[in-house]
Structure 1
Amino acid sequence: MAIRIFYLQNRQTSSDFITASDPPEFALTVCAHIDELIQLDGTPDSIVVIGQHPPSTIVSWVAQLRQHHRFAVSPLFISFPGSDTLIALTDGVVDSYEQLTEASSKIVAQIKRMPKLVSTATPTLCLLAYLNARPGRHILPQRCLNSAIAYEYPQANLFFNESEKNQMSWLDGIIAAGLLDRGSLVNKLRCCTFCDSAHLNYHEECPECSSINIELKPFIHCFTCGHIFAQEEFIASDKLLCTKCNARLRHIGIDYDRPLENYVCNACSAQFVDATTKIQCLACGQDSDPDKTHVRLLHELHLSDKGSAYVLDPDGYGFSSLFIEKNLANLKHFSDILNWYIMLQNENDQCYFSLIAIQSPDFSEYELPLSARNITPLLNKTDIMTIDIQHRALYILMPQRNLSSSSNEILFKDIKNKLIGNDQQNIPDIHTRSYSSYQENNVRYDAELLLTRILIGDNQ
């Protein structure tokens, strides 16, 4: 079967891909616009080549293709020398069928080993499949002044078209789930405690009145009377004279010296050695001390073994293991363990357990794994947690624990604090509910029904 090539090029513009006779192993289709291409019957192993167009147009087209399940992993090239950004967002530059064959063969072979993406494929699955089709490919952060953190991951953002904050939460969630691994450290950013922006203005201010109207000036200390002030106050007729005792200051070290004080405040006239350093966030306007900011580490990202396994078996969302990471199990395994505990208690009244459901309409598929990881420090070693994407919820199973109303209140407060973190401006709407089997001789429901009843608040 001939390899399908879609060529995005103005039909009035000549090109080697159009004028050369097509080799028999290729079937070339020329499209003038991205909409025309998407309407055609392309497959994931179809090859797309984009001809000469404005860079902004190409970036927009690449994003549209990557967000369409039929072209999310397709080999995609440009046919002209492009910028580093364009080359990073595509699979490189080709100007002949020979180059195209060589550059695309490994990608196409890898795509054929993977399940085809369906129209309901999530951005997470599309990104991971894209990386799985390109072994060794890294996602690199790049400087971007339009970004709140001054950096972005342009390759990852092709697959995700929501707000920038959600994009970073999305990537953090994928990393937390173990589907992406961190590589080399690229940069370490200081970010605002209130809004997470890295656009910070460091400034010095007066320690007495907090004015920023301060100046660095040379000072003089008169040995005769002890007067200390800025050097400009001692200059008179090209001589150094003390303005307080009128002594002539001729020799440094004998008549005068230069003290440590070298700042003067033009607002309150205070003199000081060290100014106070403050930070103002240019995004939200909040002031803070330098040690109150938090650090965001930016790494190269690459597909993990767990992520590759997920691409090959996306329906078995267990990442090839029962436990995704410490204390965190996939939903099916969590339900199996809960059913086992229910049977155990029904056989032995010395066994009991507690359940907690944490639900929020503000939880997204991308934030749930990250939220689960934030809660993990609050759990005992024997506690088990799981993620329910459909209901935007987290469940925690606590064996041999009886949650009283007072312990509930403290634990729920701690959980909410962990989920809110430092973002006091966008506080999610979090609902927490609990269930304890301690007072029951016989648990009447199976795991699925028990979780449902807790979720809706009917756990009697």
Structure 2
Amino acid sequence: MNTPRIALLSEQKPAKLPDGWTRFSDLSDIVSVSVWDVVVIDQPYEVATESVFRLRCSSHYRYTLIYCRRSGDAPVVPLSDGPPPDDPEHIWSAWRQWSERMKAFNRGNPPEQFEERVLAWLWARPNALLEPQRDSKFYQFYRYPLLSAMVVDESVNQLVWLKLINEQGWLQPDELIDRIRLCSRCSSGRLNYVDVCPECNALDLVRQPSLHCFTCGHVASQESFLREGLLMCPNCLTRLRHIGSDYDRPLENYRCLSCQCFFVDADVEARCFDCDTRHSPDELKIREVRAFRLTENGRLRCRQGFAAGLQEAHFGRLNLIAMQAFNGLLDWQIQQSRRYGEMPKASLLLLKFSNLGETLDNTHRLALLDNLIDRIQETVRDTDRCSRSREDLLWFLLPNTDRDGMITLWQRLSGLTHLFQENDEFRIEIELAGYTLPDDLLPQEDAQLLMARLTGEVG
């Protein structure tokens, strides 16, 4: 189908509907069927927010393009794709791009598990963010509507899930939205901050001017020094005439009505409304509320599929190791090179593929990639270690390899481009860059800095 079927949800009937559009006044008429490719909602912000959430909870419209018309300064409706373009042809173009990405997701297999559903929604929208929404009814004040909508039969702790998926490298933190403090016992954000007496922790405090007698050192409220219109110390009965020589006004302007203590500043105590635990502010848990986006590793997983792990995908034949482990090995090799100087030598080689994304999207071109991977596997040694930091970047750590040995491998890998005929309408290009340790090391450079510098050489 060249043009999508578009449903318009609006209480008011427009003067004219574009071709291919059908108007509905009731959301249930849309949710009950799965025939609509795009949904456009024309409702007030609060109503539209609820409508979009219901559509996302439906298996028919979980990933569908949903546009919401805005009025005035109303924010973008959560989980929507923003306001609809003025030109209907732009909607058609966006829908065709969305369709292509959904076909490429998970090798054409529909998302099944919770994490697959979340990643599929983000994958279909290359610039989309997993964004938090403030909700005063929630005990931590922020929740992620997308995660709530993608839950089917699972029970998901959103914070724990985000931490785990972040550790796996599929999502990465983006913009910092807020920073909140939580109860150290129950993790609730419903806290009451109160001033308490630093001596007895009582709440009953009053602000009260006080005086300090220089003769005996007595400090008390100003009222207690007043006797028949004169200032007189209630402790030593000295008449106070001159401020600065007989008395002064101390900084202690607060008095506890429970223990009669005078003090400058009260202590602050945080009391949890949910479990009644009392904390000092430095005992509270601090949580940063952030948006999240797909990482390169996450996009790679979406493209290559979830049924088989990365080790079983095309590049898995190279015995890839995790990037964190690769960084650890490279850091160790850097330390070895610095400590022992010329021995042992080691090299780091980076191989960048161009047009790799187009290759993985086209099953007919996967044979080219398989052939290329086979040749790379024949070229590298069993002792070499390989990893991927991005979909198009392949790293080789070459122990006991000097510059001449690295250049030899470089030339062999560069020669693999001859596998593709000059008259092919599609080609996989290869770019390489490499360093030798310790010759090319900069002072204080570690694995991450070295890899970043090398990545810059291939663009």
Using the TM superposition, give the Cα deviation of residue 3 of structure 1 relative to its aligned residue in structure 2, in angstroms.
2.4
- Match of residue 71 from structure 2: 81
Q: Distance in 2 between matches of 1:303 and 1:69?
A: 22
Percentage of identical aligned residues: 30
Choose between structure 1 and 2: higher helix proportion. Answer: 2
- SS at 2:161's partner residue? helix
Q: Is structure 2 residue 174 aligned with structure 1 residue 183?
A: yes
In structure 1, what residue type is equivalent to 2:284? T
Q: Secondary structure at the match of 1:310?
A: helix
Q: Could you say if the C-alpha distance between residues 41 and 262 of structure 1 is closer, same or farther in structure 2, counting changes exceeding 3 Å? A: closer
Q: How many residues get paired?
A: 317
- Tell me the amino acid that sits aligned with residue 31 of structure 2: I
Residue of structure 1 in register with 2:21 after alignment: 28
| 1:231 alignment partner, one of 222, 232, 246 | 222
Do the aligned partners of 1:111 and 1:133 also contact (CA within 8 Å) in 2?
A: yes
Question: CA–CA distance in 1 between the matches of 2:294 and 2:119?
Answer: 7
Q: Deviations over 1:274-326 (max 9, x none)?
A: 43332111222111222222221222210112222222202124486766676
For residues 174-232 of structure 1, the C-alpha deviation after alignment (integer angstroms, 9 at most, x for no partner) is 22322111123333222111111122222222233221112233221112332211223
In 1, Cα distance between equivalents of 2:152 and 2:241: 71
Matched, 1:210 2:201: yes
Q: Which blocks of at least 5 consecutive residues in structure 2 are unaligned?
A: 326-459
Q: Is the 8 A contact 1:5 1:49 kept in 2?
A: no
State whether residues 221 and 258 of structure 1, in contact with CA within 8 Å, keep that contact through their aligned partners in structure 2. yes
2:33 alignment partner in structure 1: 40
Q: 2: distance between equivalents of 1:30 and 1:21?
A: 10
Q: Distance in 1 between matches of 2:49 and 2:161?
A: 21
Per mean C-alpha deviation after superposition, the further-off stretch among 33-42 and 186-195 is 33-42
Aligned to 1:147: 138
Choose which of 59, 64, 70 in structure 1 pairs with 2:54.
64
In the alignment, structure 1 segments of 5+ residues that lack a partner are 328-460
Q: Which residue of 1 aligns with 2:185?
A: 194
Match status 1:220 vs 2:220: no
Matched, 1:122 2:127: no
Is 1:293 aligned to residue 284 of structure 2?
Answer: yes
Pick from 122, 128, 133: which aligns with 1:131?
A: 122
Cα deviation, residue 104, structure 1:
4.3
SS of equivalent residue, structure 1 residue 87: coil
1:51 aligned to which of 20, 39, 42: 42
8 A contact 2:45–2:70 mirrored in 1 = no
RMSD: 3.2
Alignment counterpart, residue 263 of structure 2, candidates 269, 272, 277: 272
Q: Secondary structure at the match of 1:107?
A: helix
Distance 1:102 1:308, change over 3 A: same
Contact 1:216 1:262 in 2 (8 A): yes
Match of 1:315 among 294, 307, 319: 307
Contact 2:13-2:23 within 8 A present in 1 as well:
no
Q: Is the 8 A contact 1:181 1:301 kept in 2?
A: yes
Q: Contact conserved, 1:213 with 1:267, CA < 8 A, in 2?
A: yes
- Residue type at the aligned position of 2:49: V
Distance 1:239 1:156, change over 3 A: farther
Q: Which structure has the larger Rg over C-alpha atoms?
A: 2
User: Does the CA contact (< 8 Å) of 1:201 and 1:279 recur in 2?
Assistant: yes
Any idea what SS the aligned residue of 1:113 has? Answer: helix
Kept in 2: contact 1:59–1:86 (CA 8 A)? no
Question: Within 2, Cα distance between the matches of 1:214 and 1:41?
Answer: 64
Bigger shift: residues 191-200 or 226-235: 226-235
Query: How far apart are residue 248 of structure 1 and its match?
Result: 3.0
Q: Aligned letter for 1:87?
A: V
Partner of 1:4: 4
